Amino acid sequence: MLSLLKGRYVVRVAAAEADLQAAQRLRWLCFIGARNGTQDGTNGARLDADHLDDVCQHVLIEDRASGTLVACFRMLLLQGGAEIERSYSAQHYNLAALREFNGPMVEIGRFCIHPEWSDPDILRVAWGALATHVEAEGVELLFGCSSFFGTEPGAYTDAFAMLAARHLAPKRWLPRVKAPNVFRFARVLKAMRPDARRAQAGMPPLLRSYLAMGGWVSDHAVVDRKLGTLHVFTGLEISAIPPARRRLLRAIGG
């Protein structure tokens, strides 16, 4: 079972209903409360939940001293591309190409960090724990939806132009359009030369981590008004991670 004690943080898998609800409350705060600018809402329980919660492992990252939940994400293990339609991502993207992927894969979903915690070590610890899980399960592909806050693509023009220029998925795995409301950034911004500094500043930290390890994205972003985000399908083939980065992740996970 995935677990890690590193510095001031503890990483563990949810073991009880109370753990799951704590993760769902944090997800609500990050995805819905943040959008509304409040920690209150019409949903009295203030939980972000869906049917996939019942079939995923939920990973909690807690402050060791106080027990505060500072981050969480969920993992869905698939034995290969033939199971890709079970994923959350398949609700929003046509992933027919990935049905041919031959090897275990894990979808990482609902990754969020408490808005009052900005420590970059949280993300590093999360990746260290993931590295341990990847090796233990023989995972060959990590994937999921990387979210930009808000639903207006104009706020992230340089970031999307950078994705179009440098980080599109290989043609053999490229997701196709399925959602009714999308921003086709690879087509719209094809001729734009992005400002590298603005592009990096506009990208979510999780997406930057994927890209630094050789990850790739879809050629369009889905406008998700339910969660108040724009998201791109993101994939990372484990074999593509640079050796130095892989050693670093092993060291964190160890």
Dump pLDDT digits (tens) for 157-181. Answer: 999 999 999 999 999 999 999 999 9
Q: Which residues contact 173 (CB under 8 A, 6 or more apart)?
A: 97, 98, 101, 216, 235
- Sorted by where each starts, the structural domains of the chain and their CATH numbers stand as 3-253 (3.40.630.30)
The sign of the CA dihedral 83, 235, 210, 177 is: negative
pLDDT tens digits, one per residue of 53-64:
999 999 999 999
> Which parts of the chain fold into alpha helices (H)?
17-28, 34-36, 121-137, 157-166, 185-188, 196-202, 205-212, 243-253
Alpha-carbon distance of 157 to 152, in angstroms, equals: 10
Q: What percent of the chain has pLDDT over 90?
A: 78
The predicted pLDDT at position 204 comes to: 94
Tens digit of each residue's pLDDT (9 = 90 or more) over 123-157: 999 998 888 888 889 999 999 999 999 999 999 99
Q: Name the pLDDT band for 44 (thresholds 50, 70, 90).
A: low
Q: Are 111 and 208 in contact (CB under 8 A)?
A: no
Residue 113's Cα: distance from chain center in Å? Answer: 11
Residue 115 structure tokens: 């808005």
Q: What pLDDT, on the 0 to 100 scale, is given for residue 249?
A: 67
